[in-house]
Amino acid sequence: MSNMIDVELRNIEKRFQNNVVVKNFNLQVEQGEFVSFLGPSGCGKTTTLNMIAGFLEPDGGDLLIKGKRMNGVPPYKRELGMVFQTYSLFPHMTVAENVGYGLKLRKVGKAEIAERVERVLKLVKLPQVADRYPKQLSGGQRQRIAIARALVIEPSLLLLDEPLSNLDAKLREELRDELKRLHQEIGVTTIFVTHDQEEALSLSDRIVVLNDGHVEQIGTPAEIYNHPASEFVHTFIGKTNKLTGKVTEVGQDRFTVLTDSGLVIETAAQRQSFDVGQEVHVFIRPEKIRLFPAEEMAANGGVGQLVMTSFLGAFTECEVRIGEQLLSVKVQMMEQDIDLRQGQTVGCSWNREDVLLMPTERDAR
């Protein structure tokens, strides 16, 4: 991948009245990269996307596309394709007319429009609906057409604002795979807004996690999932068990924590340093906990009682009570050689490497 920077945000700010909705946003998106903005509602994802698109003006900072400063440049001069949550197709036009509309505005000749529309409809696997009207299409087909319409102008940048959130679960997954395939095929630089962690994890080269208008972390899906920079990132992405306790021992490559519920938990070295007596949050993801027959013992863990099990096909979700502590555990189908009936006594264990420690207050450090 060439290291050409397609989009750059430098200290971007946006205010609505006295409310700062995006603060000090810095990001470089490389050519051909797929970057997701991920975060809860109201965190500034769509506002930032709209600034990149030119629908909103930043109140501070610089926005560059392909090295040119874009502050004040109208959307139609930015060479970008945009797909919204609502399909916003023209109801009185056929699919082919809808898809070709942007080319018509750009004064492209009729024969070339027809050819490019046909090509892009094949790309989204819907060549057969060219003569239909939007109301004759399913939601998933309409969203594909909206994507085709954005791609047909051959934009250098594709912006997607929660394009899958109006679809049912199965369709969402299908279209997600479709987007991944399209991106691999055409390699257009893409910025994707979503509040769905699974979407962001499966599609992105990098994820920007946003919270309350500021960037919490930028990293690859694996970095964000396995090495979260903050408690917010860890708890927002995927499920987790959160325990509170105090550090009782600091070793060279390990910490020992005694939790409020009486569990002794050993952890591997952490990104941050902690002191003996410091209050911490301990996080262990449900899929990192193993269940085994109660009579076998494990180094890091405890024995408890299964208080709830939900069979979900590929895995079973369990809740285990160890003393006062309730732990959520995800047992993969492959490992279900243990009796998972409610009321059973089971052992739980996890690896030191899979335990994450965070300071309880936002340390000023």
Instruction: Determine how many CB atoms are found less than 10 A away from the CB of residue 1.
Output: 9
Residue-level pLDDT at 1: 42
Q: Domain coordinates of the chain in residue numbers?
A: 5-236, 241-359
Residue-level pLDDT at 238: 84
Residue-level pLDDT at 364: 37
Residue-level pLDDT at 51: 96
CATH code 3.30.830.10 for 241-359:
no
Distance CA 28, CA 350 (A): 37
Residues 216 and 233: beta-carbon distance below 8 Å? yes
What does 158-191 look like in DSSP terms, one character per residue? EEEESTTTTS-HHHHHHHHHHHHHHHHHH--EEE
Using DSSP's 3-state secondary structure scheme, residue 139 falls into helix
Q: How many CA atoms lie within 13 A of 210 on its CB side?
A: 31
pTM score, whole prediction: 0.86
Q: How many CA atoms lie within 13 A of 38 on its CB side?
A: 31
The token duo for 45 is 């994802």
Instruction: Determine how many CB atoms are found less than 10 A away from the CB of residue 184.
Output: 9
- 141: DSSP letter: H
Instruction: Determine how many CB atoms are found less than 10 A away from the CB of residue 356.
Output: 23
The token duo for 91 is 């109801």
Residues 170 and 138: beta-carbon distance below 8 Å? no
Closest CA relative to residue 352, chosen from 289, 272, 275: 289
Residue-level pLDDT at 337: 66
- 329: DSSP letter: E
Each residue's pLDDT expressed in tens, for the chain with a length of 365 residues: 447 989 999 999 999 988 889 999 999 999 999 999 999 988 899 999 999 999 999 999 999 999 999 999 998 888 888 888 776 889 999 999 999 998 888 888 999 999 999 999 988 889 999 999 999 998 888 888 998 988 888 888 999 999 888 788 888 888 888 889 889 988 999 999 999 999 999 999 999 999 999 999 999 999 999 889 999 999 899 889 999 999 999 988 899 999 998 889 999 988 888 999 999 999 999 999 998 887 877 678 888 999 998 888 888 899 999 988 999 999 987 665 677 888 888 889 999 999 999 988 754 34
Sheet holding 68-69, edge to edge: 19-30, 5-16, 60-65, 68-69
Residues 51 and 73: beta-carbon distance below 8 Å? no
CATH architecture of 5-236: 3-Layer(aba) Sandwich (3.40)
